[in-house]
Amino acid sequence: MEEEKFQVSKNLLKTLTVDTRTNILKALEERPMTASELSRYLNKHVTTVSEHLDLLRNSELVERVERPGRKWIYYKLTKPGQRVLHPESYRWIFVLSITFICFISGLYFTTANSYPGDFLYGLKRSMENLQLSFTADSLKKAELHIQHANERLEETKQVIESGKTAYIPVIIKDYNYNMDQAKSEIEKAKQDKKDVVPVLEILSESTARQSAILQNIAIRNPSVASQVEPALNTSEKGYTSAVQEIINVTESKS
């Protein structure tokens, strides 16, 4: 890949080392022109201009424009051609891109420890949904749902510690949703003949840990034991089914 990029850059430099080609780009910056117009504008033979235009087209710096009903073929500057002439005018795009990436990264780390009742919690959940929407692979989606389910349990501990137990039913409901979605994505991956064992192993490890967390919450906070019980049932069933599925898949391969 690096060799290919270098080759493209070398060809581009070779294209621009001829003054006539650079002058053609500058002329086309003013307006689209035909080869004949460029010939007169540059005081060069039309055949010579056409040869240079072919090279510039191959480098994607200019393009042909054929207008319906007219026999003349015009040439115009492309966006890469504009960048060659004015590279400094495109620096702001790069700057904005880097700024946006830094902004999103900053938001991610800022919202990571927020929980229901916090000002940034809605943004945290929106970013989770955005992350899922940009993930097409079913196995990757399954991993994300497991990750989000783990996050919901961390939030359960936080709201209990802060005395905001009214949020528990909503968190547990979303925990169950993410676990169901994780299983659904794993099933899709199985149907697509993908290797689901690595994700099943993540699921079994996560559900074992989740069960321990939920049991600890119920023991230390008897008043919310009934509220976390649905999640405990989900995690225990998830662990059992994940382990059994690993066994089934492994035996089918042997």
Q: Say which residues have a Cβ less than 8 Å from residue 127's Cβ, sequence separation at least 6.
A: 107, 108, 111
Q: What average pLDDT does this structure show over 136-155?
A: 92
Q: What is the mean pLDDT of residues 171-200?
A: 92
pLDDT computed for residue 84 by the predictor: 73
- CA 184 to CA 178: how far, in whole Å? 10
pTM above 0.75, yes or no: no
Q: Which residues contact 249 (CB under 8 A, 6 or more apart)?
A: 196, 197, 200
Whether 146 contacts 203, CB under 8 Å = yes
- How large is the average pLDDT for residues 156-162? 88
Average pLDDT on 224-230 reads 91
Block residue for tokens 């072919």: 54
| Tens-place pLDDT, residues 90-116 | 555 555 554 554 555 555 555 567 778
> Could you tell me which of 190, 185, 182 has the C-alpha nearest to residue 210?
182
Tell me the per-residue pLDDT of 109-135, one tens digit each, with 9 for 90 and over.
555 677 787 777 887 888 888 888 888
> In the structure, what pLDDT confidence band is assigned to residue 1 with cuts at 50, 70 and 90?
very low
User: What pLDDT, on the 0 to 100 scale, is given for residue 235?
Assistant: 92
- Three-state DSSP class for 88? helix
Give the residue from 153, 146, 168 showing the smallest Cα distance to 215: 153
